[in-house]
Structure 1
Amino acid sequence: MPKATGRSRPWTDHRLAVEGMAWKYRTGAPWRDVPERFGKWNSIYKRFNRWAQDGTWEKLLAEVQKQADAAGKIDWVVSIDSTIARVHQHGATLSRGTQGAVSNHKNLAVEPPDHAIGRSRGGLTTKVHLVADGRGRPLGMLLTGGNVADTTMLATTLDTIRVPRAGKGRPRVRPDRVLADKGYPSKANRAWLRERGIAATIPERDDQIAHRRKKPGRPIDFGNEQKGRYKGRNVVERCFNKLKQWRGIAMRSDKLARNYRAGICLAATLIWIKTDLINTA
């Protein structure tokens, strides 16, 4: 955790403050309603906001991922999908520009012009694009407006995977295999995965199969072996289920996409820690 260097007064207890932050996102309550037993709500919010801006939450998530990777506890057959979160009226008060995205390792202090809010059938929504490992834990994620198509974000979402090594060496960024549903079966996505040597288990849509019958081409291998692998894709759905147990994530009330993403990183870090403790026990 960050140390109070260059500050006029020391931090209050980090554990108590983080418990207050977790309480806020777990319940979906406003910051002003954080109970006094965790400390002053304004101090807790300022600390959370500061850590969201300097990338502390991403560093904490990367640290627990690094420890799991060093222990050989990451399943690199990953699943990718997205989920929608409705934007509360308190989170949609800022003016919005053109479409943007906020990821976990490229210039964290930059807020996307649209604050990752878009208008879809459900109104104003945010879409969370996420990659989960084979045990249902978040490896990488990014936020966009809810009107952004899944298929256009596969490469960008997979690029958010950066698991540091315990010793020297570059972070691991490539999974062994990617499992995805019929929202991702474009030629561009398959070519991108093939160029990087990443195996894919992605079924074709009915319209793609019908189109190939008119203009014969190389069929996609999706036999019994691939169907067996595809059954493991539900881990990403279970990961979303865990994250959306937090009401502050299921319904976005944060004005800034950076802060909403920080709340997801907090929940994701606790998922990694809890899963590791269960497996150890």
Structure 2
Amino acid sequence: MTRCEVSDEVWAVLEPLMPMVRGRSRPWTDHRLAVEGMAWKYRTGAPWRDVPERFGKWNSIYKRFTRWAQDGTWDRLLAEVQRQSDAAGKLDWVVSIDSTIARVHQDGATLRRDTGGSSNHKNPWSEPPDHAIGRSRGGLTCKVHLVADGRGRPLGWVLTGGNVNDTTMMTTVLEHIRVPRPTTGRPRIRPDRVIADKGYPSKANRAWLRARGIAATIPERDDQIAHRRKQPGRPIDFGDEQRTRYRGRNVVERCFNQLKRWRGIAMRSDKTARNYRAAISLAAALIWIKSDLG
């Protein structure tokens, strides 16, 4: 292979985290080859049937990927990678939040919009009723609401249809931050500071952050500033210090840039939101590992 996503250094981190073979009549084929085949499929955006035979049978790789998406293996693997990064002091808790749109390929839009399961965003493995596909000005789209750490690595994200407003999803996305502690105890769920653009400055969002002791760097929109002039109230502090902090918001854009280098993520061809989320988890885990190794 002239190009690969799973180098020896990356595999040394991934191998201890892979699922053990239990209760199977046949042993799994080489995990490393299978993961490389999954990465090849999403990196190139090719159909599963076009995965080269050097990685193994495409159907076996697809079934393994889907099984791990259903039982939450990919999210647990990413959480462990984040735990190791936090334990090494490499996780920056000044986070940035934003969203990006992914067009849905015609092969990924064949399921009816009411054939999913629960609409509970707190369970990332559940399948939403609309499969996280909505109709916006760009056609059938899926929106990835994502929060990244200060080094531009994905901390948590939520999938919705492309027609869902950003500000309504802010608290839900931040609630998906769950980094296990280096030792024992509850996962860390609260960042030190949240940086966001003018798509998130609602009173409800600011109150939610304030109640949890999370500092915020969110500029006001022009209409909010004009409304405050008519009905004077407590102004939002956005002086020189806040403007300097706001420059760090570009890390979430850099995070999207890294994820969308994978063509299977830049354009969604998965029918289910669960599998598309698993693909992002795979790419995110590799981004975290390579960042910490680099």
- TM-score past 0.5 threshold: yes
CA separation in 2, counterparts of 1:61 and 1:46?
Answer: 20
Q: Secondary structure at the match of 1:80?
A: strand
1:25-54 Cα offsets, whole Å, 9 max, x none, are: 000000000000000000000000000000
- Structure 1 109/129 Cα, relative in aligned 2: closer, same or farther at 3 Å? closer
**How far apart are residue 110 of structure 1 and its match?**
2.1
CA separation in 1, counterparts of 2:226 and 2:198?
Answer: 15
Partner of 2:168: 152
Partner of 2:48: 31
CA separation in 1, counterparts of 2:89 and 2:99?
Answer: 27
* 1:251 and 2:267 matched: yes
- Structure 1 unaligned residues grouped into runs of 5+: none
- Structure 2 unaligned residues grouped into runs of 5+: 1-17
CA contact (8 A) 1:53 1:108 kept: no
CA separation in 1, counterparts of 2:90 and 2:157?
Answer: 20
1:136 to 137, 141, 152: 152
Partner of 1:80: 97
Equivalent pairs: percent with the same residue? 83
TM-score w.r.t. structure 1 length? Answer: 0.96
CA separation in 1, counterparts of 2:86 and 2:102?
Answer: 30
Partner of 2:249: 233
CA separation in 2, counterparts of 1:226 and 1:28?
Answer: 40
1:96 to 113, 116, 119: 113
Q: Secondary structure at the match of 2:155?
A: strand
CA separation in 2, counterparts of 1:101 and 1:229?
Answer: 35
* 1:123 and 2:139 matched: yes
Provide the alpha-carbon RMSD of the alignment.
1.3
Partner of 1:184: 200
**How far apart are residue 108 of structure 1 and its match?**
4.3
**How far apart are residue 3 of structure 1 and its match?**
1.3
CA contact (8 A) 1:101 1:143 kept: no
Where in structure 2 are the equivalents of 1:58-73 lying within 5 Å?
Answer: 58-73=75-90
**How far apart are residue 165 of structure 1 and its match?**
1.0
* 1:112 and 2:120 matched: no
- Structure 1 200/273 Cα, relative in aligned 2: closer, same or farther at 3 Å? same
CA separation in 2, counterparts of 1:237 and 1:28?
Answer: 21
**How far apart are residue 107 of structure 1 and its match?**
3.5
**How far apart are residue 97 of structure 1 and its match?**
2.4
Q: Secondary structure at the match of 1:261?
A: helix
Aligned residues: 276
One-letter amino acid matched to 1:2 = P
Partner of 2:218: 202
One-letter amino acid matched to 1:9 = R
**How far apart are residue 102 of structure 1 and its match?**
7.0
Q: Secondary structure at the match of 1:142?
A: strand
Partner of 1:193: 209
Partner of 1:163: 179
- Structure 1 252/102 Cα, relative in aligned 2: closer, same or farther at 3 Å? farther
Q: Secondary structure at the match of 2:210?
A: helix
1:215 to 231, 240, 252: 231
